[in-house]
Amino acid sequence: MKRLRTTAVHGGRDDLADLGVHAPPIDLSTTYPIPDQPEGGHALQHLAEGAAHAASPVYSRLHNPTVARFEQALAALEGTSAAVAFGSGMAAVTAVVQAACVVTGKPHVVAVRPLYGGTDHLLSSGLLGVRTTYATADRVADAVTPQTGLVVVETPANPNLDLLDIAAVVAQAGDVPVMVDNTFATPVLQNPAAFGATYVLHSGTKYLGGHGDVLGGVVACAEEHAGPLRQVRIITGAVLHPLGGYLMHRGLATLPLRVEAAQRTAVDLAARLDAHPGTGLVRHPSLPGADPAGLVGTQQRGPGAMLAFTTREDPAAVVRRLRLVTPAVSLGSVDTLIEHPAALTHRLVPDTAREESGVPANLLRLSVGLEDVEDLWDDLDQALSGHCEEDYIKSSSSDFREPAASH
């Protein structure tokens, strides 16, 4: 097996030389000519049973070669035999729940909070016909019943960067498959399958795409688990558009460099934020005491580029003063993004559950990007210190004009 950066650049490109092209072609066909219809029927049957490919893609809800190249590249980075891509991270979570719980008739999930608010809401809503028990990472075994089809965890967790020991959770889960959301760590920093996770999930919208211009999700897993996920994808139609597959595949090539660079800046910012009088608690796995189990360096190859901190004053006021950092949800983009979980990403998590899982109302989440660290610090420092340039705010808000009525 090649090393990480090489795999990131070359994964999923094996067939390009034979095709005589340098960049992966974007195959936008929705349907494929089938002159021999019985042969097409065999291909359809094969794909409907969960095969990775067949003699013909038949129809792009069943298979798409551009998306398949991205899947192959992501599987290589995660060290799994397969990966299955979806139209969003939430479509991927939904497919895992459907394959592990609904298809198997085991409608119970055990989940460890905090989780991304959308995942938390999906699991709590009962929408998919599953019931969820929330447990702490050390009490997963107590929550598992014969009806449990899936254990769901995130590490580092969204939004507070809690870390958990994947192998310890897998041991407690016994025969029950464990899904690890690896969106924050990316395959650059962590490969949960190596610690026994059955499903490794990514919101590809984040670091994999990396530029804030593509929505997608992907699950890396063994081929035996990929088949049922592909079946769910075909039936529900939760496919990734080939342009999205192309963009996420392209994103993988620079993923190690982006994550390493953003991580260096995050380590620096975490230390400065920790010393700033405008912050309270600062969460980043690089900070003293943040990783009591010693998972960075064993399970996780680095602390990552996401961090979180509480503010002494109203977090909304701090965000309003920022001039460079983008105030927006999502993460893993080239630009630094900040958001207020209690107001946005975790709004649909009940307040008590949010607080109990270590996500206070005054916590801000920062996704560190690729800007110069001193520029980021200047912006964060002035926002946290209350050095708001009132004139600037007034002039920029007065620039806004209602569009003229159209006729």
Ligand X SMILES: Cc1ncc(COP(=O)(O)O)c(C=O)c1O
Q: Is 174 exposed, middle or buried (0-12, 13-18, 19+ CB in 10 A)?
A: exposed
Query: Is residue 134 part of the contact set for ligand X (CB under 6 A)?
Result: no
Residues found in the chain: 407
Query: Is residue 116 part of the contact set for ligand X (CB under 6 A)?
Result: yes
| Contact indicator for 333, 208 with CB cutoff of 8 Å | no
Residue 50, phi then psi, degrees to nearest 5: 105, 10
Query: Is residue 205 part of the contact set for ligand X (CB under 6 A)?
Result: yes
The pattern of x and - marking residues 211 through 230 that bind ligand X according to CB under 6 A reads: ----x-x-------------
Query: Is residue 80 part of the contact set for ligand X (CB under 6 A)?
Result: no
Which ranges of 129-181 would DSSP assign to H, the alpha helix? 140-143, 166-173
* C-beta of 107 vs 212, nearer to ligand X: 212
In this structure, are strands 306-311 and 363-367 parallel, antiparallel, or unpaired? Answer: antiparallel
Two tokens, residue 138 = 């050390």
* C-beta of 160 vs 183, nearer to ligand X: 183
61 catalytic residue (yes or no)? yes
Q: Measured between alpha carbons, how far is 158 from 148 in angstroms, rounded to an integer?
A: 24
Kindly name the residue from 13, 113, 206, 365 that is annotated as catalytic.
Answer: 206
Peptide bond into 277 cis (omega under 30): no
List 118, 212, 304, 315, residue binding ligand X (CB under 6 A): 118
Query: Quick one: which segment of 66-74, 111-119, 285-293, 347-355 binds ligand X (CB under 6 A)?
Result: 111-119
206 catalytic residue (yes or no)? yes
Query: Is residue 90 part of the contact set for ligand X (CB under 6 A)?
Result: yes
Query: Is residue 183 part of the contact set for ligand X (CB under 6 A)?
Result: yes
Kindly name the residue from 162, 181, 274, 291 that is annotated as catalytic.
Answer: 181
Kindly name the residue from 5, 61, 264, 301 that is annotated as catalytic.
Answer: 61
List 11, 89, 192, 245, residue binding ligand X (CB under 6 A): 89
Query: Is residue 88 part of the contact set for ligand X (CB under 6 A)?
Result: yes
Subset of 4-33 contacting ligand X (CB under 6 A): none
Non-local CB neighbours of 92 within 8 Å, separated by 6+ positions: 84, 85, 86, 201, 202, 203, 217, 218, 219, 238
Query: Is residue 181 part of the contact set for ligand X (CB under 6 A)?
Result: yes
Residue 123, phi then psi, degrees to nearest 5: -70, -35
Which parts of this chain interact with ligand X (CB under 6 A)?
A: 88-90, 116, 118-119, 154, 158, 181, 183, 203, 205, 215, 217
Q: Catalytic residues, which ones?
A: 61, 116, 181, 206
